[in-house]
Amino acid sequence: MKKAVEAKRDVFPTEIRLAAEELSVVAVKQEEHKPSTLIFLAPSKSLLHILDKIGPTMAVMRQDVQRNIERLEKMYLIDPSLYSSLGEILKREMDDGTARKRESCSRAILWLTRSLNFSLALLEFLEKESEWSLEQIVEESYKSTLKPWHGWISSAAYKVALKLIPEKEVLSSILMGDDDEQECNSLKDDIQMLVSLLRPLLDEINALLRKFRLDRIKST
């Protein structure tokens, strides 16, 4: 039975498992304590893909994530060798005095990191707090990650989105991908795998943002 479930998971991988597998492949190339631009973009793009599947409910967040991905990719493609490290991008903009400007890549890195922090918190609550409603999970994830840095405009947009979030079962179905009959335990295993890969990466990037004193920037 266990082999049958594992074989089924290989044929119908969840959205979470796909994200974890992609991250694990690119993470092999990362130098220790030097967060890679491409590795950082991998979970960012996976988040974008999941937001697409959720639909218009998360439209504001999706637009923000996509805009920041495009900005960071554009910088990387200017000189892939020089900008292969997030630290190099942050250092370059700090030296130029542009890091805190609205359209800087440093801000793109900051807000992508915060979006991933939110996603990580959401996944952890989804896996651990089985009795919570999805609204409660999103609310607690937002409070601990994005809310301290949102101004009134961003907070107002979040409140609208909160009223439109799908049912917990709908989100689980989205995350489970093409196999609606997949066991819940398989999804939990995949969440645990992704969290184990994503947390150390985000810890390093959050530390990098603190190093350059960019971690306290707020939005409007």
pTM beyond 0.95: the answer is no
Assess contact for 43 and 198: CB atoms under 8 A: yes
Between residues 60 and 197, the one the model is more confident about: 197
Q: How confident is the model at residue 184 (pLDDT cuts 50, 70, 90)?
A: low
Asked if residue 202 lies in contact with residue 120, where contact means CB atoms within 8 angstroms, the answer is yes
Residue 218 has pLDDT above 50, yes or no: yes
pLDDT band for position 4 (cuts 50, 70, 90): very low
According to the model, what pLDDT value does residue 25 have?
A: 74
| DSSP count for the chain of H helices, then E strands | 10, 0
| Spatial contact of 39 and 198, defined as CB atoms under 8 Å apart | no
Average pLDDT, the chain: 85
- Mean pLDDT, residues 196-208 taken together: 94
